[in-house]
């Protein structure tokens, strides 16, 4: 499933972070970052659990401040 996200092309944006399920179909989270913004991928794979907590994050590094963006998906049941 990682290949599906890697294949998405958005003009002027790049894939900054992602999480995809391996054992179940569907379910993925991702963050796209404008190419003009510097960022660092925050590695959260150890706390992800398929169909429970699917999460990814990036830390943005604009000149004046640092910001963290987190995307999460919580399975409805």
pTM of the model: 0.75
- Is residue 38 a contact partner of residue 60, using CB atoms and an 8 Å limit? yes
DSSP 5-54: HHT---TTEEEEEEEE-SSSSS-EEEEEEETTS-EEEE--GGG-BTTTBE
Per-residue pLDDT of the chain (77 residues; tens, 9 = 90+): 445 666 677 889 988 888 776 666 666 778 899 999 999 988 887 877 776 778 889 999 877 888 899 888 877 77
Domain count, the chain: 1
Q: What is the C-alpha to C-alpha distance for residues 74 and 69, in angstroms, rounded to an integer?
A: 17
User: Which structural domain, as residue segments, surrounds residue 54?
Assistant: 2-73
Cα separation, 17 vs 60, whole angstroms = 12
């Amino acid at each position: 499933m990682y290949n599906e996200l890697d294949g998405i092309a958005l003009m002027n944006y790049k894939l900054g972070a992602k999480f995809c399920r391996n054992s179940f179909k569907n379910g993925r989270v991702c963050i796209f970052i404008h190419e003009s913004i510097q960022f660092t991928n925050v590695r959260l794979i150890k706390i992800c659990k398929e169909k429970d907590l699917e999460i990814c994050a990036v830390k943005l590094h604009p000149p004046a401040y640092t910001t963290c963006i987190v995307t999460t998906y919580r399975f409805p049941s």
